[in-house]
Structure 1
């Protein structure tokens, strides 16, 4: 029966054999040979076999359409990507097929085409086992008679890129990543398990075609990703370890998991480090929060520039315009062989959030007679040690330059008693939610004053003035050394005293 029904639905004629029966239409099921057919004729009919061609269905497109929604693409595992989706097939039974059918399983073999005119598919999707299905028969109200709606789910079906299909596959990924909308086309066949009046049947190779239209990620720039926080966690000899939280809103309707990624980190077009994203998973319509680890390279001027611009306070250097670029230009950006070429061309910009920690400079105190200044500094970073090795700074009041200082605390020949200024981490409560910087006062540092600025200082004697400081410092963060770090800060309270 399965073979007959399969051939029938494909429109193929089947040769069937009709044999006479000893049981006539008027015979009683419980009493044989009771009816209008004579016994001798019944026996004669039993010996007659007639070969009759049974024509196939006139309408052979049983599956009118197949739609995939709620698509999830997972590249996180080694090997072929996996596809999950909700599948809805619309079936139309041939007019002559009046019996009930209930599709309980489908096993589709889907071929994907980049364009409607594509001659060859670039990939195929086939589940490892049949997919359970439910069937709604047409009732003539919300579903036309002689039609059926079959619903099923593809669960982590292997997505195989076909030989010669890599170029179209990458074009498909570009459509998903950069496009506002994207469309691909599907064709294929499906086996179906059916419960019917003729029993439990397996029907083979039912053809279908359709298309999949999805919303794209729009290059992850509408809106762009955001960095929620930046935290320096450890200073190594050759790298500064940083942890960030990244928010990426996905405007797409496709769930994409690119798996673990190792991306380059750029500042002003120059590589300053790399990032590790344990799992870049983007769920549709959500602000996806990703924890990202970064390592900033040592002995790199652009690392120094980035940190200086980021932590500077109240200057035009810190006007929320510190932008980083995350790029897939690394050759080892991913362990998925299918994503390597695609990721080489992926770049997205993220803007550093405002530096929300206490500023490095707390205040300072100037002594007129000795022409010296004591600087009060604090470490803004939790759980790490800081030390100021050198400082070269100039202070301005309004438009006047007040004076300049130059101190190398590592050089005992300059007379420094304590060496580099050690700044302990902030003092935090037990919950680690409320932390206060530990202020450390420097030794008295000679200051070379300017005439106009000096007049402003004398007028503030016994009180204070607000100055802006532009400095270049050498800093140790744990074992990581930052030379010539440019740090700017406005509105520093400078107390002015007469004595030595």
Structure 2
């Protein structure tokens, strides 16, 4: 066991890409790809003896049972696993999700027990403790662009404006958030609600389909809204802001991250396209 423990201690684990899908109130699916290197001179099968606990900055976030890892002597192993991550600390995970969105990188500490099968023997009670660093979203440092915008309908309460927004994520972690809503602002006045029916952010450029319920309320907001629409019709660009709110998502553990979203985008004026979408 001491030799096996030494081999585990000396090995290195890295995640090259990850994808968070199927978010629920207390769980999600975490698909991970990566490498395990410096595993020693023997072929070995590494099986999880139970859930692997996940920490960030010393705070327990949750746990997951990773798939077995097949290691080759002198080569290491490819890490391919799609475990269900069970959130056991909603407040802690909420704080972490906010940091993941704001920072350029974050580190997870994995801690648990594994069994090692090698040379016809099964060794139990081996501790796996590894730190893995992944890229954060850095508060979306690239320009957020409105790729298209078109009035598609409305009712006495609001106009419906369909938009496709370009968002660049520098992270190597993709995430599916589900239904998201945020507030839109122009010249410091709330213009309405931006609704993203199924928000998915993958690494790199994302074209996110959304719709805005344009409904400025007080007189000053109505006046600002007229200015915004006037500039749009006259082919003049405008700058709008988007901000997350406490009710941007129904998933409690993701609320701190979405509530912290703040960005501005240039709304291009109407150029060579119809204002109203044809039926």
- Which position in structure 2 is the counterpart of 1:197? 120
* Selected match of 2:19 from 58, 72, 77: 72
Tell me the TM-score normalized by structure 2.
0.84
- Which position in structure 2 is the counterpart of 1:307? 229
Map 1:296-335 to 2 at 5 A: 296-297=214-215, 300-313=222-235, 318=236, 320=237, 322-329=238-245, 331-335=246-250
* Selected match of 1:348 from 244, 252, 263: 263
Q: Is the 8 A contact 2:47 2:114 kept in 1?
A: no
* Selected match of 1:109 from 38, 45, 51: 51
Q: Deviations over 1:402-447 (max 9, x none)?
A: xxxxxxxxxxxxxxxxxxxxxxxxxxxxxxxxxxxxxxxxxxxxxx
Larger Rg: 1
- Which position in structure 1 is the counterpart of 2:133? 213
Q: CA, structure 1 residues 326+298, in 2 after alignment: closer, same or farther (shift >3 Å)?
A: closer
Matched, 1:337 2:252: yes
Q: Is the 8 A contact 1:240 1:295 kept in 2?
A: yes
- Which position in structure 1 is the counterpart of 2:112? 188
- Which position in structure 1 is the counterpart of 2:67? 131
- Could you tell me how far apart the structure 1 residues matched to 2:49 and 2:233 are? 58
C-alpha deviation, 1:349, in angstroms: 1.3
- Could you tell me how far apart the structure 2 residues matched to 1:380 and 1:246 are? 17
- Could you tell me how far apart the structure 1 residues matched to 2:49 and 2:152 are? 51
Tell me the TM-score normalized by structure 1.
0.49
Q: Which has the higher contact order (CA 8 A, sep 6+)?
A: 2
C-alpha deviation, 1:105, in angstroms: 4.3
Q: Deviations over 1:78-129 (max 9, x none)?
A: 4313322125445656xxxx9x6531744563333333xx3xx3213312xx
C-alpha deviation, 1:74, in angstroms: 3.0
Q: Deviations over 1:131-154 (max 9, x none)?
A: 24322113xxxx5xxxxx243322
RMSD: 2.8
Matched, 1:383 2:256: no
- Could you tell me how far apart the structure 2 residues matched to 1:305 and 1:356 are? 17
- Which position in structure 2 is the counterpart of 1:290? 208
- Which position in structure 2 is the counterpart of 1:435? none
Q: Deviations over 1:262-314 (max 9, x none)?
A: 11111122211111112222211x2111110111116533332321222224x
Matched, 1:160 2:67: no
Map 1:60-99 to 2 at 5 A: 60-64=5-9, 65-69=11-15, 70-74=17-21, 76-90=23-37
- Unmatched tracts of structure 1, length 5 or more: 1-8, 10-56, 144-148, 359-378, 385-500
Q: Could you list the structure 1 runs, at least 4 aligned residues long, displaced by more than 6 angstroms after superposition.
A: none
- Could you tell me how far apart the structure 2 residues matched to 1:345 and 1:104 are? 39
